[in-house]
Amino acid sequence: ALVTGASRGIGRAIALKLAAEGAAVVINYHGSMEKAKEVKAEIESDGGIAEIMQCNVADYQATEAMIRKVTDDFGRLDILVNNAGIAWFGLLTDMTDEDWSSLLQTNLSSVFYCCRAAIPHMVSVKCGRIINISSMWGTAGASCEAAYSATKSGIHGLTKALAKELAPSNIQVNAIACGVIDTEMNARLNEEERAALAEEIPSGRFSSPEEVAELVLLLC
Ligand code: NDP
């Protein structure tokens, strides 16, 4: 299993969960090498198999090289979890071209790059699972997160279409539209903002990365 952005937060929890269930896991990271090493060490101390791979998934050449290394090292790629993502908060009118392009590349193009490189390996064995980590804002839309919402809506369209395209090859493609999950992505929020946000979620609370990981496991 390859989990993108698995050094921290939701991706970390997914990597730990899949490894605990017996998958050999590749922990992709971008800048947090020490944290990625900690995830690998935690998996190995529980008897699991893990490898770390540095790659900016917004870069298609680096991403293709990473997937090639995964299949070279492990001989196959059964599960791809496209989790890596960044947030951008603010008025759309304050967003620069660079901000827009970085968000689109990191959150949406990365899913395309990973899928394009991974699918031939899955099709050749007629088996695979692709899980895209998305957000409720991709369906509901969030004020001051218009571009982020657009990237997640894009993931929803890509997921539904790809699910149809790959179903005949026994490859299931799903997205999880998370509510609000307690990770560093929400570290900027103060107590008042957290409470206001929780009210927008049907459960009335932030969820844990482990709850998302349970759902990923179910879908696998
Ligand atoms: P965190 O900020 O806690 O972690 C982000 C992870 O993504 C890190 O491992 C980071 O790696 C990695 N990452 C970021 N950019 C890149 C890149 N260019 N290439 C490779 N890896 C990258 O975020 P969360 O765990 O909260 O979010 C994970 C996913 O869940 C995202 O797609 C997010 O949009 C989605 N989500 C989160 C919600 C939330 O409330 N937290 C709600 C809904 C969806 P590194 O540290 O090594 O740079």
C-alpha 113/C-alpha 128 separation (Å) is: 16
* DSSP for residue 107: I
| H/E stretch holding 151 | helix 146-166
Confidence label for 200 from pLDDT (cuts 50, 70 and 90) = confident
| Torsional class of 133: left (φ above 0), alpha (ψ -120 to 50), beta (otherwise) | beta
- The confidence score (pLDDT) of residue 14 equals 99
**Hey, whose CA ends up nearest to atom 18 of ligand 1?**
56
For this structure, is 113 an active site residue?
no
C-alpha 53/C-alpha 175 separation (Å) is: 23
Which residues, listed in sequence order, are joined to residue 132 by a DSSP beta bridge? 82, 175
- The confidence score (pLDDT) of residue 73 equals 97
pLDDT > 70 fraction of the chain, expressed in percent and rounded: 100
**3-state SS, residue 162:** helix
Instruction: State mean pLDDT over 79-91.
Output: 98
- Cα 27 to ligand 1 centre (Å): 13
Report whether pLDDT(191) > 90: yes
| H/E stretch holding 132 | strand 128-135
Instruction: State mean pLDDT over 163-186.
Output: 97
Instruction: State mean pLDDT over 99-113.
Output: 98
- Cα 118 to ligand 1 centre (Å): 20
Report whether pLDDT(202) > 90: no
Which residues, listed in sequence order, are joined to residue 129 by a DSSP beta bridge? 79, 172
* CA atoms within 13 A of residue 117's CA, in its CB half-sphere: 24
* DSSP for residue 206: P
Report whether pLDDT(47) > 90: yes
Q: Is residue 7 in contact with ligand 1, taking CB distance under 6 Å?
A: yes
CB-based contacts of 125: which residues, under 8 Å, 6+ apart?
76
Instruction: State mean pLDDT over 168-196.
Output: 96
Instruction: Look at strands 25-29 and 2-3 and give their pairing.
Output: parallel
Instruction: State mean pLDDT over 120-139.
Output: 97
Structure tokens belonging to residue 52: 């770390």
